Amino acid sequence: MKSTPFTEMATEFRGQIVRLWALQYPGTQSEAAAALTEAAIKLGYVTRSRPVPGAALATWSLSPAETPLWAAQTALTLMLGAGWKPESNQDWCGMSALIFRSNRTLPLEQLVASLPENIDRRTATGWLVAAIEEDAHYRYNRKSR
Protein backbone atom coordinates (compact mmCIF):
# COMPACT_ATOMS: atom_id res chain seq x y z
CA MET A 1 0.00 0.00 0.00
CA LYS A 2 1.35 3.42 -0.96
CA SER A 3 2.34 5.67 1.91
CA THR A 4 0.53 8.99 2.31
CA PRO A 5 2.18 12.35 3.05
CA PHE A 6 0.66 12.24 6.55
CA THR A 7 2.18 8.83 7.25
CA GLU A 8 5.55 9.91 5.86
CA MET A 9 5.64 13.01 8.09
CA ALA A 10 4.49 11.04 11.15
CA THR A 11 7.15 8.38 10.57
CA GLU A 12 9.89 10.99 10.13
CA PHE A 13 8.78 12.61 13.38
CA ARG A 14 9.41 9.40 15.35
CA GLY A 15 13.15 9.65 14.86
CA GLN A 16 13.09 13.42 15.28
CA ILE A 17 11.38 13.42 18.68
CA VAL A 18 13.69 10.72 20.05
CA ARG A 19 16.73 12.69 18.79
CA LEU A 20 15.37 15.91 20.31
CA TRP A 21 14.79 14.23 23.66
CA ALA A 22 18.23 12.57 23.63
CA LEU A 23 19.92 15.90 22.84
CA GLN A 24 18.40 17.57 25.89
CA TYR A 25 19.14 14.60 28.17
CA PRO A 26 22.10 15.48 30.43
CA GLY A 27 23.83 12.08 30.42
CA THR A 28 25.59 9.85 27.91
CA GLN A 29 23.82 8.07 25.06
CA SER A 30 23.78 4.86 27.09
CA GLU A 31 22.28 6.68 30.07
CA ALA A 32 19.70 8.33 27.81
CA ALA A 33 18.74 4.95 26.34
CA ALA A 34 18.37 3.50 29.84
CA ALA A 35 16.27 6.50 30.98
CA LEU A 36 14.06 6.29 27.89
CA THR A 37 13.51 2.56 28.42
CA GLU A 38 12.77 3.05 32.12
CA ALA A 39 10.25 5.81 31.36
CA ALA A 40 8.61 3.62 28.68
CA ILE A 41 8.19 0.80 31.19
CA LYS A 42 6.65 3.19 33.77
CA LEU A 43 4.29 4.60 31.13
CA GLY A 44 3.26 1.09 30.08
CA TYR A 45 4.49 1.40 26.50
CA VAL A 46 6.93 -1.52 26.72
CA THR A 47 7.96 -4.40 28.95
CA ARG A 48 11.69 -4.92 28.63
CA SER A 49 14.13 -6.35 31.10
CA ARG A 50 17.12 -4.45 29.66
CA PRO A 51 17.48 -0.99 28.12
CA VAL A 52 18.20 -0.60 24.44
CA PRO A 53 21.85 0.13 23.57
CA GLY A 54 22.80 3.80 23.46
CA ALA A 55 23.72 3.46 19.79
CA ALA A 56 20.09 2.65 19.02
CA LEU A 57 19.13 6.27 19.70
CA ALA A 58 21.52 7.48 17.01
CA THR A 59 20.33 4.80 14.58
CA TRP A 60 16.71 5.80 15.08
CA SER A 61 17.57 9.44 14.39
CA LEU A 62 19.10 8.48 11.06
CA SER A 63 16.46 5.89 10.16
CA PRO A 64 13.14 7.13 11.57
CA ALA A 65 11.21 4.19 10.08
CA GLU A 66 13.19 1.94 12.45
CA THR A 67 12.24 3.98 15.52
CA PRO A 68 9.98 1.81 17.68
CA LEU A 69 6.58 3.24 18.48
CA TRP A 70 7.23 2.89 22.22
CA ALA A 71 10.41 4.98 22.00
CA ALA A 72 8.71 7.79 20.08
CA GLN A 73 5.66 7.77 22.36
CA THR A 74 7.88 7.90 25.44
CA ALA A 75 10.09 10.68 24.07
CA LEU A 76 7.01 12.71 23.12
CA THR A 77 5.46 12.24 26.58
CA LEU A 78 8.70 13.34 28.23
CA MET A 79 9.11 16.32 25.90
CA LEU A 80 5.51 17.46 26.40
CA GLY A 81 6.06 17.20 30.15
CA ALA A 82 9.11 19.45 29.78
CA GLY A 83 7.09 22.12 27.96
CA TRP A 84 7.90 21.24 24.33
CA LYS A 85 5.43 22.55 21.74
CA PRO A 86 5.05 21.58 18.09
CA GLU A 87 6.33 24.24 15.69
CA SER A 88 6.26 22.72 12.22
CA ASN A 89 3.67 20.74 10.28
CA GLN A 90 5.83 17.67 10.83
CA ASP A 91 5.77 18.28 14.60
CA TRP A 92 1.98 18.67 14.63
CA CYS A 93 1.50 15.63 12.41
CA GLY A 94 3.83 13.39 14.39
CA MET A 95 2.54 14.52 17.77
CA SER A 96 -1.07 13.97 16.72
CA ALA A 97 -0.36 10.56 15.23
CA LEU A 98 1.43 9.39 18.38
CA ILE A 99 -1.22 10.76 20.73
CA PHE A 100 -3.97 9.11 18.72
CA ARG A 101 -2.12 5.77 18.55
CA SER A 102 -1.70 5.83 22.33
CA ASN A 103 -5.39 6.58 22.91
CA ARG A 104 -7.38 5.09 20.00
CA THR A 105 -10.49 4.51 22.09
CA LEU A 106 -10.84 8.11 23.29
CA PRO A 107 -13.17 10.48 21.45
CA LEU A 108 -11.66 13.58 19.85
CA GLU A 109 -12.78 15.87 22.68
CA GLN A 110 -10.93 13.78 25.26
CA LEU A 111 -7.81 13.59 23.09
CA VAL A 112 -7.75 17.38 22.89
CA ALA A 113 -8.48 17.73 26.62
CA SER A 114 -5.56 15.42 27.44
CA LEU A 115 -3.04 17.82 25.89
CA PRO A 116 -0.88 20.08 28.06
CA GLU A 117 -2.16 23.65 28.49
CA ASN A 118 0.64 25.14 26.34
CA ILE A 119 -0.59 23.32 23.20
CA ASP A 120 -2.90 25.30 20.88
CA ARG A 121 -6.23 23.46 21.02
CA ARG A 122 -7.59 24.60 17.66
CA THR A 123 -4.51 23.55 15.71
CA ALA A 124 -4.25 20.30 17.66
CA THR A 125 -7.89 19.47 16.92
CA GLY A 126 -7.31 19.73 13.17
CA TRP A 127 -4.24 17.53 13.28
CA LEU A 128 -5.91 14.97 15.54
CA VAL A 129 -8.84 14.76 13.10
CA ALA A 130 -6.28 14.15 10.33
CA ALA A 131 -4.68 11.36 12.41
CA ILE A 132 -8.08 9.75 13.01
CA GLU A 133 -8.96 9.97 9.30
CA GLU A 134 -5.57 8.59 8.28
CA ASP A 135 -6.05 5.61 10.58
CA ALA A 136 -9.56 4.98 9.20
CA HIS A 137 -8.23 5.21 5.64
CA TYR A 138 -5.42 2.77 6.44
CA ARG A 139 -7.79 0.27 8.08
CA TYR A 140 -10.30 0.51 5.21
CA ASN A 141 -7.62 -0.07 2.55
CA ARG A 142 -6.08 -2.95 4.50
CA LYS A 143 -9.47 -4.60 4.91
CA SER A 144 -10.43 -4.27 1.23
CA ARG A 145 -7.29 -6.06 0.00
Residue-wise pLDDT tens digits, 94-104: 999 999 999 98
pLDDT band at 58 (very low <50, low <70, confident <90, very high): confident
CA distance 142 to 145: 6
Model pTM? Answer: 0.91
62-101 b/e (C-beta count within 10 Å ≥ 16 → b): eebeebbebbbbbbbbbbbeeebebeeebbbbbbbbbbbe
* Residue range(s) defining the domain that contains residue 116: 5-143
Q: How many domains does the chain have?
A: 1
- Give the whole-angstrom CA distance, residue 95 versus residue 124: 9
